Amino acid sequence: MIRAKSRTHANRGMKFESAIEKSCENYRQQKLAVIKKRPTDWTVRWEDGKIISAFPKKKSTVDFEGILAGGQGIAFEAKETKNKTSFPLSNFQSHQISYLQNFAQMGGMAFVLIRFTVHEAVYKIMIDEFCKMISDCETLGRKSIPLDRIKQPSDKCYRITEMYELPLFLNNHYNQK
């Protein structure tokens, strides 16, 4: 079962997301895709002129959405972990997985990007493969996906190249055409 994300981790991954946004801008300039980060609406509680709490107004879907040259939709979630040996399932919320599954069923490209900061490695995992990984973990009673499982190369799960710290997450897609 995927659990809700801790609020203490709210800003974790901001550098990674910023790098992805720069990659998206490069893809737009190359006329390969238009991909935008989805903003999260926040409810802010003030007391005596100070912010005492902030929380999302509603559940967000995924971090990034857009369209590829040729018309195919694209949606993905980006996550980062400091864990050395596995990726905690608690980093995802079930509605994010459901959204990506529905997106893929409609013909869109749906995946997750996972960055292991300790290894300076980013992996792209197509949503159907990611769901298999989650299912395997649940069957085995695991709360995380082992890095060794993520490292098993396939056309649905692979390490992506980074150039100047920018993840090149569409290169494999366009090289196959």
- Tens digit of pLDDT per residue, the chain (177 long)? 444 444 444 555 578 888 999 999 999 999 999 999 976 666 778 888 888 877 666 667 888 999 999 999 999 999 999 999 999 999 999 999 999 999 999 999 999 999 999 998 999 999 999 999 999 999 999 999 999 999 987 889 888 877 656 777 886 554 444
Return the DSSP state at 154: B
Identify the pLDDT of residue 2.
47
Identify the pLDDT of residue 57.
61
| Buried-state track 70-91, b at ≥16 Cβ within 10 A, e below 16 | eeeebbbbbbbbeeeebbbbeb
Alpha-carbon distance of 47 to 129, in angstroms, equals 46
Backbone φ/ψ region at 122: left (φ over 0), alpha (ψ -120 to 50), beta: beta
Alpha-carbon distance of 100 to 77, in angstroms, equals 8
DSSP H or E segment with residue 55:
strand 50-56
Is 63 marked within a binding site? Answer: yes
Identify the pLDDT of residue 161.
78
Q: What is the pTM of this model?
A: 0.80
Is 96 marked within a binding site? Answer: yes
Identify the pLDDT of residue 13.
58
Report yes or no: 111 and 155 within 8 Å, Cβ to Cβ. Answer: no
| Domains present along the chain, CATH in parentheses | 12-38+50-175 (3.40.1350.10)
Alpha-carbon distance of 106 to 75, in angstroms, equals 12
Alpha-carbon distance of 82 to 117, in angstroms, equals 5
Report helix, strand or coil for 143.
coil
Identify the pLDDT of residue 171.
65
